[in-house]
Amino acid sequence: MATINFGGVNETVVTRDEFPLSKALETLKDETIAILGYGVQGPGQSLNLRDNGFNVIVGQRKGSGSWDKAVADGWVPGQDLFDLEEAAGRATIIEYLLSDAGQMEQWEMVKKHLTPGKALYFSHGFGVTYADKTGIVPPEDVDVILVAPKGSGTSLRRLFLEGKGLNSSYAIYQDATGKAFERVVALGIGVGSGYLFETTFKNEVYSDLTGERGILMGALAGLFEAQYQVLRKHGHSPSEAFNETVEELTQSLMPLVAENGMDWMYANTSTTAQRGALDWRHKFREATIPVFSELYARVASGKEAELVIAANKKPDYRNTLNAELDEIKSSELWQAGQQVRKLRPENN
């Protein structure tokens, strides 16, 4: 483990130097890892584990689209692809990667197969943190661990294939065997993490729900829409409004921030951009702190969890979701985006 200074605060992290893949493979050489669920995180984590040489199987509902996707990805029914219950029964480590709603639905089945000494692995702290709402209370004689890649399963797989890694948090909720730390770090390295930083189940879900509703998705989408609407209202063309709102950010500026930081990006733009951005950043920060504070309070109180659980229980949830996504897709903003993407040099 290495101690790194993050902006004046020391944190202990685990890197591939301290815990190389060879050590991870040795740690889990006698384990069978079952990936339950093949939706968002399942494909990336299972394929990376398989390619890294771990003993991994997949559990998925037979006849589902995800089952067919698993077959297309090279998982063989009866060999390393099984229905959910058979996979759970074969495993010593159960990676519980179903959706939060799916985890609630399948919990009684999974709990039956959590015999002493096994490990129950999550990539999201939702089910355990909000146990009073989900009913997910693990037995006391199993390890309960978490590795949460800081990005989508698609990104995890893409970066793995590029020889890179996606940073992940890790947490130990319950160490029944005395091996929880070695297990969780080995799995974190195995799924393709760049480095691992410690958290708790509660902190993971609080930060994750805040981030998803905030800067990662909700706030970002709302800011895109607001600026685009103002530019269009004042006579700017859809192409100009989209390029100034989305394309320049995602294709030019954010890669610079990712590579070198915000200060470097500022230093490598025009003096006009620098002065305006430095001044207006304060206005946006002060305007949005109350919104983020309200959001965090709702996450911490469990209100956001209640909303998610209630929404997923509605029989028409999928149809309602698709209608909301279609509304975004058909908006002028994202219709303009489709055309702009087609005009990128790599697409011509």
φ, ψ dihedrals at 13, nearest 5°: -125, 160
Q: What is the DSSP string of 98-130?
A: S-HHHHHHHHHHHHHT--TT-EEEES-SHHHHT
CB atoms within 10 A of CB 299: 21
For 259, the token pair is 């590579």
Q: What is the DSSP string of 47-106?
A: HHHHHTT--EEEE--TTSHHHHHHHHTT--BTTTEE-HHHHHHH-SEEEE-S-HHHHHHH
> Can 236 be counted among the known catalytic residues?
no
For 44, the token pair is 């990336």
Shortest CA distance to 199 belongs to which of 222, 221, 175, 169? 169
CB atoms within 10 A of CB 156: 25
CB atoms within 10 A of CB 109: 13
Distance, CA of 65 to CA of 38 (rounded, Å):
9
Distance, CA of 334 to CA of 348 (rounded, Å):
20
With tokens 């730390």, the residue in question is 181
Distance, CA of 135 to CA of 139 (rounded, Å):
12
Pairing of strands 93-96, 143-149: unpaired
**Which of these is catalytic: 124, 234, 236, 282?**
124
DSSP 2: E
- C-beta separation of 136 from 107 below 8 A: yes
Which residues are annotated as catalytic? 124
